[in-house]
Amino acid sequence: MNKSMLFLGLIGLIICGGCNDKNRQNNINPQGEKLKVEIYEVHAQDVPLNLSYLGSFKPFKEATLGTTIPGKIEKIYAQEGEAVKEGQLVVKMSSELLLQSEIEYKTLEKDFQRVKNLVEKQSISQQDFDHVKAQYEAAEAKYNLLKANTEIRAPFDGVVARHLAHEGENYFFSASLDLGSPLSTGILQLVKYNPIYFEFEVGEKDLSYIHKNMGIKAVANTYSHDTIVGMVEFISPTLNSTRVTATIRIRMNNPNLKYRPGMTGKTFINVINHQVMMIPLKAIMKELEDDAYFVYLVNNEGKITKKPIKVLQYAGENVVVEGLSEGDQVVISNKKNLAEGTEVEILPISNN
C-alpha cells in the first residue's frame, strides 16, 4: 500500500505540472471555443478491500523452568526438541537438603502428636504446645518447599526449546543484566506451539475492520504456497504511542508442529468498504506546495470549481476519497488547461 501511495504521488506531480498556476485563465481555446472536458459522476458504492500485514508466529505458551532455591542439577530428563506432557518430570535436583529436612519434619511431627495428646489431657501448658506446633509447621513448610524444588515437572504440554543449564552444575536463581535478556535465569525453556499464535500490527484506520473471533488467513514465508486460517483472539486495548498501531493476535491449530515460533509471514483480510465515494485515479490532482490532493468539479453553471479531497484507499485505477458528495461531476480529462471559474463544455458522461 505504501508503494501505491508513492507511485500515486509521483503520478500526481507529473500530471499536475503547472496546474496550479493562478495566472492562467484559459476560459476558451485559441479558436474561441469552450474547453471540452470529460467528467465522472460520483456515486456511493460498495468496494472490496484487501488488507495485508506482516507479522510473526508466537508460542501459545512459554515458560522458563527453574527452582526458587539453590541446588545442584542431578538429572535433566527431557532433551532439547523433545515433547513432554503436563506433569512429566523434566529435572531432578540434588536431594541432600530434602532428606535432612524430611528427617527434621518427621521428628517434629511425632513431637507434635505427643504434645497434642498431652494438651488435651491438660498435662502440658498451652504455651508449650504452641511452641512445638510452631516448630512443626515451620519444618513442614520447609520440607514442602524443598520437595517442590527438588523435582521440576512440566506445567503444560509442550516442547523443550533449549537447556539453559546442564547436569552437574550448581543452579541458583539470578536476574540477568544483559539488555534484551529475560529477567530471570532458568534450567530449561518450555514452549507450546499447538495451537500457535500469529501476531501483527494494524494501523488505527484499519482497526474498524477487525474484531474478535474473526477468521483471518496467514501464510508463512517458509511455506509460501500453504495457507493457514486462524481466529482473532486478542486486540490490544491501547495503541503503540510511537507507531500508532494495535497488536492483533490470531490463534491457529498446528497439530503437526509445522509452524514454529519465530517464523515470519503475512496475513490477508478481505472486507467490504460500504457506500464509499470512488473516482478514477486520473481525476486526482496534487498541490505543488504541499502534500495535498484536489479535483476539479463542474458546477451547475458549467464552470470549474476546485475541491480538496482526502485519499483513503487505492483500488487499481480507482481511488476511494473523502470530501465529495453523491452527484458531484469530477473532471477526468484536459485538466492541465483548467483553473477556478473556467467555463467548459461537458462531453458525454461515462461512469465506466
The last residue of a domain, from among 189, 204, 225: 189
Distance CA 103, CA 101 (A): 5
- Structural domain includes residue 254: yes
Tell me the C-alpha to C-alpha distance, in Å, between residue 144 and each of 41, 67, 71, 131, 139.
80, 13, 15, 20, 9
Check residue 55 and give its pLDDT. 97
Domain interval for residue 244: 51-61+192-273
Check residue 264 and give its pLDDT. 97
What is the CATH classification number for the domain harbouring 219?
2.40.30.170
Check residue 148 and give its pLDDT. 81
C-alpha closest to that of 195 among 58, 56, 86: 58
Check residue 185 and give its pLDDT. 76
Q: What is the mean pLDDT of each run of 10 residues along the chain (352 residues)?
A: 45 44 47 84 89 95 89 93 96 84 86 82 81 88 84 94 92 57 73 97 90 94 94 95 94 95 94 88 90 94 95 86 95 91 83 51
User: Based on the domain organization, do 185 and 332 belong to the same domain?
Assistant: no
Q: Is residue 41 classed as helix, strand or coil in its secondary structure?
A: strand
The contacts of residue 245 (CB under 8 Å, 6+ apart) are 201, 202, 203, 204, 239
Check residue 170 and give its pLDDT. 87
Beta bridge partners of 329: 41
DSSP-assigned letter for residue 324: -
DSSP tally for the chain: helices H, then strands E: 3, 20
Question: What total of structural domains would you count in the chain?
Answer: 3
Give the global pTM.
Answer: 0.64
What is the CATH classification number for the domain harbouring 38?
2.40.420.20
The last residue of a domain, from among 214, 242, 273: 273
